[in-house]
């Protein structure tokens, strides 16, 4: 099979023109059509410091609970005894302070417990001393 001959007046479509520069560069005075800068001329670049990891953050300071003044006062009063009066006062103050420090908002629960124990022992000593002195006076004692 043969193909029909083309008509003589038809021409192939025109190809677009491409400019190609010689490999040694454009002649002096010619316009630069290259998207790349000329060798030796580079655009100014901004300086960026090297990237580092996140900055170290210190942990927050620990929360310090204020010590209950009543717990310290009860402990000191129970420790001094003061002829029985102060140990009874130390027992009372320490018992109140144990309720105050139980919530955890104030510190000094150990002082309150120690004051209650020492105040209770001092108060028991005074109670035994009073009972012994009354019984000896009733027995005609000397």
pLDDT at 125: 87
Specify which residues 67 forms β-bridges with: 107
pLDDT at 43: 61
pLDDT at 40: 64
pLDDT at 57: 81
Other beta carbons less than 10 A from residue 107's beta carbon: 15
Per-residue model confidence as pLDDT tens for the chain (142 residues)? 566 666 656 666 666 665 665 566 656 666 555 666 666 666 666 777 777 777 778 888 888 889 999 999 999 999 987 667 889 999 999 999 999 999 888 999 999 999 999 999 998 988 898 899 999 988 876 5
- Residue 94 contacts residue 115 (beta carbons within 8 Å): yes
Distance CA 5, CA 49 (A): 72
């Amino acid at each position: 099979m043969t193909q029909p001959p083309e008509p003589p007046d038809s021409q192939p479509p025109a190809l677009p023109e491409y400019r190609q520069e010689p490999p040694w560069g454009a002649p002096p005075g010619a316009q630069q059509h290259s998207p790349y800068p000329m060798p030796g001329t580079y655009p100014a670049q901004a300086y960026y410091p090297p990237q580092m990891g996140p900055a170290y953050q210190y942990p927050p300071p620990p929360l310090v609970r204020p010590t209950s003044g009543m717990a310290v006062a009860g402990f000191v009063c129970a420790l001094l005894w003061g002829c029985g009066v102060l140990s009874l006062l130390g027992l009372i103050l320490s018992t109140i302070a144990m309720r105050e420090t139980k919530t955890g908002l104030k510190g000094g629960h150990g002082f309150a417990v120690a004051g209650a124990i020492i105040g209770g022992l001092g108060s028991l000593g005074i109670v035994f001393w009073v009972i012994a002195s009354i019984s000896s006076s009733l027995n005609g004692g000397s």
